[in-house]
Amino acid sequence: MTTAFRQKQAQRSPTTCGLPGRLLFPPLLAMIGLLPLTAVAFLHAETADSDPGRALYVAHCAACHGVDLEGQPDWRSPDANGLYPAPPHDETGHTWHHDDAMLVDYIARGGQAVLDDMGVTFTSGMPGFGSILAEQEIGAILDYIKSTWPERIRDIQAQRSNAAASE
């Protein structure tokens, strides 16, 4: 190649260059390389948003019981007013110790109403959500909570629910 030919090639714009792919190929590879990352982010967001129980839990329960179902610190000890902090809903708490009907009732009417009906002398700070959430929404929240439990805990809680339902 002559020097004059090389200078003429260098003056051409990238779109009129004899090998446009040489300039477009690196950015194209970079974009293709990023596709799996954006796909993973999209799929993760879709999974999180597609669980209506989790969305309802975050909207109505997480402020007290924690986004990760962890509950409040020292939930086993009453505060200065005699109220117990919100317990965790994960496997470390006691939610799984109760049957489904009791949990639905507790969420719908609030803890104090249920405890009073049971004759339990305990002060609950749990408000009722029956005027805010439909029974199907409460069920979706409980399904989400249960989905986070280990299989052994889910089995125990299901047995309790089945036994209570047959009474």
**Torsion of Cα atoms, 92 then 98 then 104 then 107, to 10°:** -50
What's the pLDDT score for residue 167? 86
Task: Tell me the Ramachandran region of residue 72: left when phi exceeds 0, alpha when psi lies from -120 to 50, beta otherwise.
Answer: beta
Query: Could you state, in order of their start, the residue ranges of all structural domains in the chain?
Result: 20-50, 52-166
Tell me which of 4-8, 48-52, 57-61, 130-134 is least confident: 4-8
Long-range contacts at 107-113 (CB < 8 A, ≥ 24 apart): 107/133, 107/138, 107/141, 107/142, 108/133, 108/135, 108/138
Average pLDDT (41-60) is 70
Distance CA 139, CA 80 (A): 33
Which overall architecture, per CATH, does domain 52-166 show? Orthogonal Bundle (1.10)
CA distances (Å), origin 20, targets 6, 13, 156: 16, 9, 66
Report how far residue 145's alpha carbon sits from residue 79's, in angstroms, rounded to the nearest whole number.
26
17 has pLDDT over 70: no
pTM exceeds 0.75, yes or no: no
> Given CA atoms 94, 103, 45, 153 in this order, what sign does their dihedral have?
positive
Instruction: List all residues 6 or more positions away from 158 whose beta carbon is below 8 Å from its beta carbon.
Output: none
The 3-state DSSP composition of the chain as helix, strand, coil percent (nearest 5) reads: 60, 0, 40
What's the pLDDT score for residue 18? Answer: 46
pLDDT at 13 over 70: no
Q: What is the pLDDT of residues 78-87, one digit of tens each?
A: 989 888 899 9
For residue 163, name the pLDDT band (cuts at 50, 70, 90).
Answer: very high
pLDDT-based confidence at residue 42 (cuts at 50, 70, 90): very low
Tell me the mean pLDDT in the region 126-147.
96
Q: What is the mean pLDDT of the chain?
A: 80
